[in-house]
A and B are shown apart, each in its own frame.
Chain A
Amino acid sequence: DAKTTQPPSMDCAEGRAANLPCNHSTISGNEYVYWYRQIHSQGPQYIIHGLKNNETNEMASLIITEDRKSSTLILPHATLRDTAVYYCIVRVANTDKLIFGTGTRLQVFP
């Protein structure tokens, strides 16, 4: 079973920041938080991951709370092409297994 919970859907205006929340209250100390997205009819695309520090790359920023029980993915300037299902995943320690939940369907509108 997935160890994360996410809202089923969110809307965001084009050009605004999209903030996608994720709860992972049972995360273990050596488990990473990963974010992927799936645009319709394509394979999941890696976005970012982190352990406890905030992370930023060319796609997004990841903010992890100090207790590590939740995180937020931030797309700083959402575009229409960011419309997708976003998955927050806790990676099982010492395995290669990614367990996907139901994700958040982000709709970016003009």
Chain B
Amino acid sequence: DTAVSQTPKYLVTQMGNDKSIKCEQNLGHDTMYWYKQDSKKFLKIMFSYNNKELIINETVPNRFSPKSPDKAHLNLHINSLELGDSAVYFCASSQTVGNSPLHFGNGTRLTVT
């Protein structure tokens, strides 16, 4: 069973389009995250949600809007895509109880042309 699953795995789209990436976890965790890995392979946190509430927002443009319909899902919607948005986006989850490790999905490779 896949613990943290993301769809789609690959996403190719044109500048100016709006797209969404979905994430689901079946670990019963109450905190979910989005990380971005750019072409230089740096992994940076974008958002975290705890029980459907936004906890961390790391100065991400407001074109990026996370949506958490329930604590098992955290989707990422991106408006007006730009070339610089091309990256691999990773979803992760953890349990809030102190220092529980994060479990990551296998990423969505977004290419904006």
Contacts and interface: CB of A to CB of B under 8 A. Distances in A.
Interface string B6-48: 0000000000000000000000000101000000011111001
Contacts of B43: 44, 87, 100
A98 B56 contact: no
Contact of B101 (A46, A85, A99): A46
Contacts of B79: none
A96 B96 contact: yes
A81 interface: no
A52 to B, nearest CB: 13
A49 B44 CA distance: 20
Interface string A8-43: 000000000000000000000000101000000111
Main secondary structure of the interface of A (DSSP, over half): loop
A44 B37 CA distance: 11
Contact of B94 (A85, A96, A99): A96
Contacts of B42: 100, 102
A32, A44, A49, A99: most-surrounded residue (chain B CB, <10 A): A44
B43, B56, B96, B105: most-surrounded residue (chain A CB, <10 A): B43
A45 interface: yes
Interface of A: 32, 34, 41-46, 49, 85, 87, 91, 95-100, 102
Interface of B: 4, 31, 33, 41-45, 48, 50, 55-56, 90, 92, 94, 96, 99, 101-107
23 contacts: A34-B101, A42-B107, A43-B4, A43-B90, A43-B105, A43-B107, A44-B92, A44-B102, A44-B104, A45-B104, A46-B101, A46-B103, A85-B41, A91-B99, A96-B31, A96-B33, A96-B48, A96-B55, A96-B56, A98-B102, A99-B45, A100-B44, A102-B42
